[in-house]
Amino acid sequence: MVRGLLVALLVVVVLWSLAVGALVLLGRRSQARELATLIPNLLVLFRGLLRDPRVPKSTKGWLWFAVVWLISPIDLIPEFIPVAGPLDDAIVAALVLRHVLQHTDRQMLADHWRGEPSTLDAIIRLGRREPRPRT
């Protein structure tokens, strides 16, 4: 079980490194730097939000749910299954991030964000995007 988690983590790190390297090779150094620091900045953001008394308890509850889900050895799809294994963790992380972005004041997010403000703005735009009306 731990081995599957380590393999999934290694795959993510390799893909992340390849994406950062590709951006550097394309001459987009500032974008490469932001991508390289995105996950650490999100972790700092979430840790800060968990400690901030201004954040609603329901939002903190969802953050704790994500933490427990991600560290839990129990998964809907076993980690050893290629591609699909880490997918349930990624879906939970994305849904919790969306909830946090929709239910947390922008200033609180900015207070705990350590990256470029433009990156936070892009994350907020993506997370708060309203569904398109059906035509």
Residue-by-residue DSSP string for 6-53: HHHHHHHHHHHHHHHHHHHHTT-HHHHHHHHHHHHHHHHHHHHHHH-T
pLDDT at 2: 54
pLDDT at 36: 76
Looking at residues 32-41, what average pLDDT do you find? 79
Looking at residues 12-29, what average pLDDT do you find? 80
Looking at residues 78-94, what average pLDDT do you find? 74
Please, how many CA atoms are within 13 Å of residue 135, restricted to the half-sphere of its CB? 1
Lowest-pLDDT choice from 13-22, 43-52, 123-132: 123-132
Q: What is the pLDDT of residues 88-117, one digit of tens each?
A: 777 888 888 889 988 898 999 999 999 889
**Residue found by looking up tokens 């201004």 in the block:** 54
Burial class (CB in 10 A: 0-12, 13-18, 19+), 115: middle
